[in-house]
Chain A
Amino acid sequence: MTQVHKRHAALVALLIGGAALAGCGKPKATAETKDGGPFASTYAPLPSTPTLITHATVLTGTGARLDDASVLLVDGKVAAIGSDVAAPAGATVIDAKGRFVTPGIIDVHSHLGVYASPGTNASSDGNEATNAVTAEVWAEHSLWPQDPQFATASAGGITAMQILPGSANLIGGRGVTVKNVPSRTAQGMKFPGAKHGLKMACGENPKRVYGDKSGPSTRMGNVAGYRAAWIKARNYKAKLDKAAKGQGDAPDRDLAMETLAGVLSGDIIVHNHCYRADEMAQMIDIAKEFDYRIGTFHHAVESYKVADLLKQHDICSAMWADWWGFKMEAYDGVRENVALVDAAGACAIVHSDSAVGTQRLNQEAAKAMASGNRIGLGIKPEHAIAWITANAAKALGVLDKTGTLEAGKDADVVLWSSDPFSVYAKADLVFVDGAVIWDRADRTRQPVSDFMLGILGGREVQP
């Protein structure tokens, strides 16, 4: 796990070549890129049949636990939930006695496809570590859909994830939210209607990567870097807004400024890698200065120290259950972080930042819950499940579409072999928009990437 960090750091160090900047004709800026803009989603749900899951224990993601309940999935949507749901004609009926149903698991912090397996130099595509501010890059342009890690994630119940650039840069570029379906293209995975994220990073990483290059080399240098970028973005957006009113020319089109202006207009959500409590407070003030919103602090190891502040500003914390100490800004990690943030009434999320960890976010949430219960917080599974479903969907701006089991929402669903807050639970069936993308009992419904075909001299490997 921490070796992954080490690997990324090492690979970052290799990336010293300058990016070739295409500086030809300058088109005029028009508006921020939204869904339907360039690189639009071509995702279409995979084939499904009406499915009725019966006699299940259902954790809805809204805080409710329903015993001996049914969940009906029709045409890619959750059609009904309750104790008295009839199967439509031709429906597949699954007796889930003794088993659990939850919303699909959502990982708000993933690098699948941009730091693929195997971790070769050639496929290290997560950090554009050539400049401390690279708001112009988009993670989806690095995303290799044949990364075998998507399949292992689906075995762990992951139905959606945000794929982010790495944290080498102060402003690392756009993240993309995808549905975890096998596809030949990144566009084919893009979650329709999901906003882009903007990856920002506090603290040690930008300092480490740029300290002996162009800078920043200090935390005060980091802050100056963010502020300089936002000053430019405000000016850019002001020109755009004026031009829209017929007052003057639009600025020349600038990819970095388009992204930052997108944050200022609320079309792009800020995902800010930030470990230390005091740095979160600094970032909150930068957001105030430039009038933008921080959606989520990621790796927020010290959120428990400022949970009240985070609640006040309605900022989510995406956290690990127990990673700590691999660098100084992670030294004050406590196992109760997630539970204490949650208990303070702030938005708590369990994330992975790891192709290994994403496969068992349910176990990580279970550890975080147990740690809270050990100090008497009395957290129930039907509440804690939101840390990896509803709250994650909220952070990605897709809670209206997924993250809970409610009629009308996308049928992103996991049927677990037992209580998902157990080390022994496995995802039996994983649905994305009603289609079975993973079936533990049917190898023909277990995706295998191109890369893994025949790679072991014909042996097939189970995740």
Chain B
Amino acid sequence: MSRSELIRGALALVATVVVGAASAANPTYAIVHAKAHTIAKGTLEDATIVIKDGRIAAIGKGLAAPAGAEIIDAAGRPVTPGLFDAFGAIGVLEVELEDSTVDRGNGDPRYSAAFAVADAFNPRSPKVAITRIEGVTRALVAPVDGDGDGVQSVIVGQAATIHLGLGEALVLDPSAALVVEYGESGKGLAGGARSAALLQLKEALDDARDYARNKGDFDMNARRAYSRTRLDLEALQPVLRRELPVIVQADRASDITKVLEFGKAQNLRLVIAGGAEAWMVADELAKAGVPVIVDVIQNLPGSFESLGSTLENAGRLQKAGVKVTFATEDVGNPRNVKQLAGNAVSYGMDYDAALAGLTKVPAEIYGMKGYGTLEVGMDADVVVWSGDPLEVTSYADAVFIKGDKIPMTSRQTQLRDRYKDLGKQPWPPAYRR
């Protein structure tokens, strides 16, 4: 989008006009004159998107808004599905350096695969509003290792999918993926060797298979000892059935190759997270149909497992046919996923693939129905942008999540408003709401 288009977009502020009387409890919205990136069926200019009962009721070029709908005039600006943070910590981490506020990692060696961050999820976290007003409407809340002592599990737990809408019932799927650490972090957990990390994983999966066939004997205490507890073995069953994807954190090219080989032998539905050197084995990943969660801007040789890091990683993967989605290492700033996608485009990724990587691709990876595209019948997670959504100077002008129009306020906008006019009032800021 050109600068002049951006300026035009900025001038045409979100004009909201209610036509006739709409039901206050369940209003209908019509976003008109939108440049709709449908993700499913290309881009529609001058599109109308009708939002009713939480879903997209209609979308099309030049459709008339239904009577009684609240009209949002996008004035030619881009509209996309809400964006997705593919590996984050919303609701289970408030302040990273304050352990008391972090509920993401488990140090109890008795539980690994069964450990589910969803149980600790706090829908009232200020990060929900801080993130959604920037156009991120869905996320994966993922566990990480628990920083415990001694040998730990390389299986760190189950990740949940959430939406960031109104209300408290934000968890969509408490068991959306299993998270495994490999590479340098996995080796550390396993006692100091990558090979031990793989053995640990193999043993857990073998035990889970054996357990499934011999539950009766297990309950009678007539089966050999397993490496995992009963709850973990139960939690691994959907993994063995390929229902639950396994996100493996790996960066080094040779590690990714090894994980692919392991996943094939074990018949796993793999996802690679990190993947700093994934571009070096892009063809293998494409052949195996394994997607990669990329933090695009991590292009430094920050460790000996990421010496091949490059800004071109996402673009090269996509060109090779690998599905790419995005997550930032800065867990406090999932709102910056769009900047990651923009940098990916700047360094070779197709624009539409980058948009899909923020929406449809994670929906597919995590089996999230009803989200990821602008199509009739989909949940109405819809964002009106001030300009190109991947541009650093653009921001969300209006956000809908599951059909609710989101108030564009957060703890941060309240702080800003409290202090933006310094010294103009006789009373201290504490009296300003």
Asked if residues B415 and A456 are in contact (CB atoms below 8 Å), the reply is no
B16 interface contact, C-beta 8 A:
no
Q: Which of the 9-residue segments B57-65, B110-118, B197-205, B341-349 touches chain A?
A: B341-349
The residues of B that contact A119 with a CB separation of less than 8 Å are 302-303
Q: Which of A118, A335, A366 contacts B303 (CB 8 A)?
A: A118
A281 nearest CB across to chain B (Å)? 14
Q: How far is it, in angstroms, between the C-alpha of A416 and the C-alpha of B380 when the chains are bound?
A: 39
**Closest residue of chain A to B344, judged by CB?**
A423
Residue of B at shortest CB range from A303?
B419
Q: Are A423 and B333 in contact (CB-based, < 8 A)? A: no
Number of inter-chain CB pairs below 8 Å: 156
B311 within 8 A of A: yes
Q: Does A135 contact B (CB under 8 A)?
A: no
Instruction: Report if A422 contacts B (CB, 8 A).
Output: yes
Interface string of B307-336 (1 = CB under 8 A from A): 111111000000000000000111111011
- Whether B423 contacts A308 by the Cβ 8 Å rule is yes
CB pair B332–A326 under 8 Å, yes or no, is yes
Q: A324-B332, A324-B412, A367-B339 are in contact. List 6 more A-B contacts (CB 8 A).
A: A2-B330, A117-B302, A335-B412, A336-B416, A340-B420, A421-B393
B1-29 interface with A by 8 A CB criterion = 3, 10
Q: Contact between B329 and A3 (Cβ–Cβ < 8 Å)?
A: yes
Chain A residues in 8 Å Cβ range of B429: 305
Determine the chain B residues whose CB is within 8 A of the CB of A2 once the complex forms.
Answer: 96, 329-332
Q: Given A2-B330, A2-B332, A326-B332, answer yes or no on A9-B416 (Cβ-Cβ < 8 Å).
A: no
> Are A152 and B299 closer than 8 Å at their CB atoms?
yes
**Interface size, chain B (Cβ < 8 Å):** 53
**Shortest distance from the beta carbon of B265 to any chain A beta carbon, whole Å:** 26
Q: How far is the CB of A210 from chain B (nearest CB, A)?
A: 16
Residue in chain B with minimal CB distance to A356? B297
A94 within 8 A of B: no
Cβ of B67 to closest chain A Cβ, rounded Å:
33
Are the CB atoms of B95 and A461 closer together than 8 Å? no
Contacts of A456 in B (CB 8 A): 307-308
Q: What is the total number of residues of chain A having a CB less than 8 Å from a CB of chain B?
A: 63
Taking A375-B416, A455-B307, A456-B308 as contacts, is the C-beta distance between A117 and B301 under 8 angstroms? yes
A14 on interface, CB distance cutoff 8 Å? no
Report whether A334 and B98 are in contact in the complex, using a CB–CB cutoff of 8 Å: no
Q: How far is the CA of A336 from the CA of B415 in the complex (A)?
A: 10
Contacts of B427 in A (CB 8 A): none
For B301, give the chain A residue with the smallest CB separation.
A117
Binary per-residue interface labels of chain A (92-128) against chain B in the complex, 1 for a CB within 8 Å, 0 otherwise? 0000000000000000000000000111100000000
Distance in angstroms from B98 CB to nearest chain A CB is 6
Identify which of B3, B127, B343 contacts A423 (C-beta below 8 A).
B343
A: residues with CB less than 8 A from B are 1-3, 5-6, 9, 117-120, 148-149, 152, 204, 208, 304-308, 322-328, 331-336, 340, 344, 355-356, 359-360, 363, 366-367, 369-371, 373-375, 419, 421-426, 451-452, 455-456, 459, 461-463
A2 and B95 CA atoms in complex are apart in Å by: 11
From B10, B280, B310, B342, give the contact of A463 (CB < 8 A).
Answer: B310
Min CB distance A64 to B, Å, is 18
Residues of B within 8 A of A419 (CB): 3
- Most A CB contacts (10 A, CB to CB) among B280, B312, B420 go to B420
**What are some 18 contacts across the A-B interface (CB < 8 A)?**
A1-B330, A208-B97, A305-B419, A322-B336, A325-B95, A331-B95, A340-B416, A340-B420, A356-B299, A370-B392, A370-B393, A370-B394, A373-B393, A423-B343, A426-B346, A452-B307, A462-B312, A463-B311
| List of A residues within 8 angstroms of B98 by Cβ | 327-328
Among A5, A327, A333, A340, which residue has its beta carbon within 8 angstroms of that of B412? A333
Say whether A323 contacts B307, CB under 8 Å: no
What's the least CB distance linking B389 to chain A, in Å?
11
B300 contacts across to A, CB distance below 8 A: 117, 148-149, 152, 355-356
> A373 near B10 (CB under 8 angstroms)?
yes
Contact flags B389-402 to A (C-beta < 8 A → 1, else 0) = 01111110000000
- Least CB distance from A305 to B in Å reads 5
B345, A424: Cβ atoms closer than 8 Å? yes
Residues of A within 8 Å of B328, CB to CB, are 1
The residues of A that contact B312 with a CB separation of less than 8 Å are 462
A462, B307: Cα distance in complex, Å: 11
Q: Is residue B298 within 8 Å, beta carbon to beta carbon, of the partner chain?
A: yes
B32 to chain A minimum Cβ distance, whole angstroms, is 23
- Nearest-neighbour CB distance to chain A for B132, whole angstroms, equals 14
Contacts of B299 in A (CB 8 A): 152, 356, 359, 463
Please indicate the chain B residues that have their CB under 8 angstroms from the CB of A340 in the complex: 416, 419-420
- Can you list the 10 inter-chain pairs with the closest CB atoms, starting with the nearest? A423-B342, A1-B330, A327-B97, A370-B393, A325-B332, A366-B392, A326-B96, A334-B416, A117-B300, A423-B392
Contact of A424 with B346 at beta-carbon distance under 8 Å, contacts A305-B419, A323-B332, A373-B10 already known: yes
B419 engages A328 (CB within 8 Å): no
Min CB gap A417→B, angstroms: 9
A322 to B182, CA, bound (A): 30
- Tell me which residues across on chain A come within 8 A of B309, comparing CB atoms: 461
Could you tell me if B416 and A367 are in contact, using CB atoms closer than 8 angstroms? no
Structural contact, B391 and A304, CB atoms closer than 8 A: no
How far apart are B134's CB and chain A's nearest CB, in angstroms?
9
Q: Which of A326, A359, A371, A461 contacts B310 (CB 8 A)?
A: A461
CA distance A366 to B390 in the complex (A): 13
Q: Mark B93-110, 1 if CB is under 8 A from A, else 0.
A: 011111000000000000
- Binary CB contact string for chain B from 128 to 164 against chain A (1 if under 8 A, 0 otherwise): 0000000000000000000000000000000000000
Q: For residue A462, which residues in chain B have a CB less than 8 angstroms away from its CB?
A: 310-312
CA distance A428 to B174 in the complex (A): 47
A304 engages B97 (CB within 8 Å): no
Give the one of B127, B300, B306, B307 with max A CB within 10 A. Answer: B300
Nearest CB of B to A419, in Å: 7
- Enumerate chain A residues within 8 angstroms of B304, measured Cβ to Cβ: 118, 120
Complex CA–CA separation, A335 to B96 (angstroms): 19
Q: Chain A contacts of B392 at CB under 8 A? A: 363, 366-367, 370, 421-423
- Assess the A6–B303 pair: CB atoms within 8 A: no
Which residues of chain B have C-beta atoms less than 8 A from A463's C-beta? 299, 310-311
| CB-CB under 8 A for A369 and B393, given A455-B307, A462-B311 | yes
* Inter-subunit contact B345/A328 (CB<8 Å): no
Chain B residues whose CB sits within 8 angstroms of the CB of A451 once the complex forms = 301
B222 within 8 A of A: no
* Residues of chain A with a CB closer than 8 A to B391's CB: 422-424
Taken together as a complex, chains A and B put the C-alpha atoms of A370 and B392 apart, in Å, by: 8
Contact A374 B395 (CB under 8 A): yes
- B262: shortest Cβ distance to chain A, in Å? 23
B220 within 8 A of A: no
- Chain B's nearest CB lies how many Å from the CB of A119? 6
B410 closest partner in A (C-beta)? A334
B422 sits at the interface (CB 8 A): yes
